[in-house]
């Protein structure tokens, strides 16, 4: 069945304490290649039936209204897989 993947990330101007913690862990391990880490969410919505324009529009609407908090997060991607 087709799946719509929605990616949500914390806004760039906000501190991301989880990401900072991981970046700190990497630095303590001596891993210097990665200068920053940010952690967001990935939603997989399984679609009943084919994905048409109305389904994609509904997914976009849900991404903005339910899956993300527009005060602190951005929807960075909506794509259909399979």
Which residues in this chain contact a copy of itself in the complex, by CB under 8 A? 1, 4, 7-9, 19, 22, 25-26, 31-49, 55, 58-59, 62, 66-67
Phi/psi of residue 33, nearest 5 degrees:
-75, -20
Shortest spacing between CB 71 and a copy of itself, in angstroms: 19
Distance CA 64, CA 54 (A): 15
Shortest spacing between CB 58 and a copy of itself, in angstroms: 6
Distance CA 41, CA 51 (A): 22
Nearer to a copy of itself, 13 or 35 (CB): 35
Shortest spacing between CB 23 and a copy of itself, in angstroms: 9
Nearer to a copy of itself, 13 or 44 (CB): 44
| Pair 8, 74: CB distance under 8 Å | yes
Q: Would you tell me how many other CB atoms lie within 10 Å of the CB of residue 6?
A: 21
């Amino acid at each position: 069945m087709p799946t719509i993947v929605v990616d949500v990330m914390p806004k760039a101007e906000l501190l991301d304490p989880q990401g900072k913690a991981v970046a700190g862990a990497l630095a303590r391990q001596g891993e210097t290649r990665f200068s920053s880490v940010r952690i967001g969410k990935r939603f997989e919505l399984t679609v009943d039936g084919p994905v048409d324009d109305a389904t994609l529009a509904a997914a976009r609407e849900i991404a903005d209204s339910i899956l993300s908090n527009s005060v602190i997060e951005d929807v960075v991607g909506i794509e259909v897989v399979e």
